[in-house]
Amino acid sequence: MTDETAELHPPGLTMSRREALQATAGAVAFAALPLPAEAAADSTATPAPPTHTLPLEVTVNGRVHQLVVDPRLSVLDMLRERLSLTGTKKGCNQGACGACTVLIDGQRVNACLALAVMYDGAKITTIEGVAEGEALHPLQVAFIEHDAFQCGYCTSGQIMSGLGCISEGHASSAEEISYWMSGNICRCGAYPGIVAAVAQAAKEDRT
Amino acid sequence: MRPFEFQRAASESEAIAAGAAGARYLAGGTTLVDLMREEVETPEKIVDINRLPLNYIRATDEAIVIGALARMSEVAANQDVRRLQPLIPETLTEGASPQLRNVASIGGNLLQRVRCPYFRMLDAPCNKRVPGSGCSAIDGLNAGHAILGTSEHCVATHPSDLAVSLVALGAMLSLKGPRGEPTIPVEELFRLPESTPHLEHTLEPGELIVEVHIPNGPYARKARYLKVRDRSSYEFALVSAAAALHVENGIIKEVRIAAGGVGTRPWRMNAVEQALVGKTAARASYEIAAAVSTEETRPLSHNGFKVKLLPATIVRALEMAGDVA
């Protein structure tokens, strides 16, 4: 393995996915402990890589989280590995595919290119925060009605990007939707369904 | 990703002090974080400048002034910019994806690194990444590379669309740093690769781009950006052209043209402009003038098509600009 970073997956090739997830969940509980005030003050004044960490407060789907993070941690890995919100997917991990799209302070962004420490105090919405209880969001309903996915891996990113596309006012025609959804790649080629779903939800949003 | 020290700058002076001591500035992070993850960039210290008060857009009679931390999407949606400088929103919207535009800053857009695939490939020689190691693109896959301003050491194009339009419009940059607060034309921000392709810009260590001034010239309203690429959105330019026209009674009084995807830096087409002034604003004049654009081109093994595409793109961009009411 190369340098140990928060980007890398939990150690041990023999570890199952479930074990890895459980180990991560434990880390969350630990990380949620309040940080001593002096450590917080010290961390920016005299940092010492690679143990350099920073306190961070983010609100995810309405819930406040206080974490201590390595500055290399992406918002994507924070959500998946630290907060166990695995609905947000890691595709390319380089800002090209859109699978990791979330809303930060209402704007759609690629969570893979966002360092968590850049977003101290931010409000993040992930796919887990879109439905209200058991009631799916109209865009989620539209994705089902229009069969807007096959494997489903890109779907949460498509839906989060679709929410941004609609709220920005760029969903008035199929052509406009295609253009403004072009940051989200679908390897299965479900684009006609995705465009139709966004168009339907946009129409419902206007009425 | 290599470990690094992270600092949030609370003031411009704090940022500049850290930058002058070797720290890298972090704005939107869409280029830097990606390259750090690939270990193409390995800064030991990062200064987050996002809390500096540089996210603004001001419109005056003379110019549009854009703070370096304004986001691409904010500038593209701004009503003053859309009214006074329509070339800028069109250009910004043709670049990147909506997600990237929501985060990427105007200053960072200008300073983004090249998209040559060999630059990202740690096991391939690249003079930009490791000076003196060689250029893999010259004898490699170079269909996307430059035909103007190349050297035997580097043939990568500058990837920014925005820079092309800013160069066409004669925009200026306000800087702040150890040498004071100089103002330079955007065109002078970019270096030719020559024998030092690892040096991409003319900023001093620690120098910060503060804002961009775009003069409201008489040609600013009649301006279009045409980007030719392998797919119709979210793709880098094969060839692009920004064209801005000032026409009176059917005669071209003033014209600004710059091209992207063809040069190692955004390429102002001075000779084409000179060939157009005083001519009729019509396709026949555009074709004669655009032919001049290829005079100094030096195609590589896979990008000879750009020599034909460049004048065709300029002609079409001029026609589009001419059609603006």
The pLDDT value recorded for residue A27 is 47
Domain ranges of chain A: 17-129, 138-206
Contact A72 B98 (CB under 8 A): no
Q: Do A49 and B44 touch (CB under 8 A)?
A: yes
Class of domain B223-323: alpha beta
Q: How far apart are CA A40 and CA A53, in angstroms?
A: 9
- For A81, A139, A170, B9, the CA distances from A149, given in Å and listed in that order, are 25, 13, 21, 43
Indicate the SS3 state at residue B309: helix
Between positions 223 and 242 of B, the ones with CB within 8 A of A are 232-234
Tell me which residues of chain A have a pLDDT lower than 50.
1-43, 47-49
Which of the residues B102, B112, B227, B236 would you substitute to probe the A interface, choosing the one with the greatest number of A C-beta atoms within 10 Å?
B102
Residues of A in contact with B30 (CB under 8 A): 95, 110, 113
The two structure tokens encoding residue B47:
């200064």
In chain B, which residues have their Cβ closer than 8 Å to the Cβ of A47?
5-7
DSSP string spanning B233-250? Answer: SSS--SEEEEEEEEEETT
Kindly tell me the sign of the dihedral angle through the C-alpha atoms of B123, B126, B132, B134. positive
pTM confidence score = 0.90
CATH superfamily of A138-206: [2Fe-2S]-binding domain (1.10.150.120)
- pLDDT < 50: residue spans in chain B: none
Is the Cβ of A105 closer than 8 Å to some Cβ of chain B? Answer: no
- Cα dist from B118 to A204, B32, B154, B300, whole Å: 47, 17, 11, 16
Q: Which helix (H) or strand (E) holds B267?
A: strand B267-268
Contacts (Cβ under 8 Å, ≥6 apart) of A51: none
Residue-level pLDDT at A36: 42
Looking at residue A114, what is its pLDDT?
98
**Cβ-Cβ contacts under 8 Å, A70 against chain B:** 3
**B7 close contact with A: CB closer than 8 A:** yes
How far lies B285's CA from each of A25, B116, B314, in Å? 68, 35, 12
Angle between helix axes B305-323 and B283-290 (nearest 10 degrees) is: 150
A161 vs B48: CB contact, 8 Å cut-off? no
What was the ipTM of the complex prediction? 0.96
3 state SS of B275 = helix
List CB contacts (< 8 A) between B27 and chain A: none
Whether B97 and chain A come into contact, CB under 8 Å, resolves to yes
CB A135 within 8 A of CB A166: no
Determine the 3-state secondary structure of B26 from DSSP: strand
From the list A7, A168, A183, the residue facing B37 with the nearest CB is: A7
Which of B94, B99, B121, B230 to probe the A interface (max A CBs under 10 A)? B99
d(CA B132, CA B227): 33
How many degrees, rounded to 5, is the angle at CA B292 between CA B286 and CA B295? 155
Quote the tokens at residue B153.
């050491």
User: DSSP states of B197-238 as a string?
Assistant: TT--B-PPTT-EEEEEEEE--TTSSSEEEEEE-SSSSSS--S
Across the interface, whether the CB atoms of B100 and A182 are under 8 A apart is answered: no
Which stretches within B41-179 are classed as H helix?
72-77, 79-84, 87-93, 98-101, 106-110, 117-120, 161-168
Residue B193 tokens read as 């690769």
CATH code of the domain made up of A17-129: 3.10.20.30
**Under DSSP, is residue B170 helix (H, G, I), strand (E, B) or coil?**
coil
pLDDT at A2: 38
CB contact, 8 Å: B100 with chain A? yes
| Domains of chain B by residue range | 5-51, 223-323
* pLDDT at residue number A206: 84
Secondary structure tally for chain B: helices H, strands E: 12, 12
Question: What count of CB pairs under 8 Å joins A to B?
Answer: 97
- Estimate to the nearest angstrom the gap between the alpha carbon of B285 and the chain centroid: 27
Element (H, E) at B11: none
* pLDDT at residue A207 in the model: 76
CATH of B5-51, one of 2.40.70.10, 3.30.43.10, 3.30.750.210, 1.20.1250.20: 3.30.43.10
Residue B190's H or E segment, with its range, is none
Contacts of A98 in chain B (CB under 8 A): 97, 99
Closest CA of chain A from B220, distance in Å: 25
User: A206: Cβ–Cβ under 8 A, 6 or more apart, which residues?
Assistant: none
CA distance B16 to B296: 39
Give every CB contact of residue B9 below 8 A, 6+ residues apart in sequence. Answer: B15, B18, B47, B48, B49, B51, B52
CA B49 to chain centre: 21
Backbone conformation region of residue B28, classed left if phi is above 0, alpha if psi is from -120 to 50, else beta: alpha
Q: Mutate which of B2, B6, B55 to disrupt the A interface (most A C-beta within 10 Å)?
A: B6
Burial class (CB in 10 A: 0-12, 13-18, 19+), A51: exposed
Q: Is B150 within 8 Å of B193 (Cβ atoms)?
A: yes
CA atoms within 13 A on the CB side of B48: 19
Contact yes or no for B244/B269 (Cβ under 8 A) = no
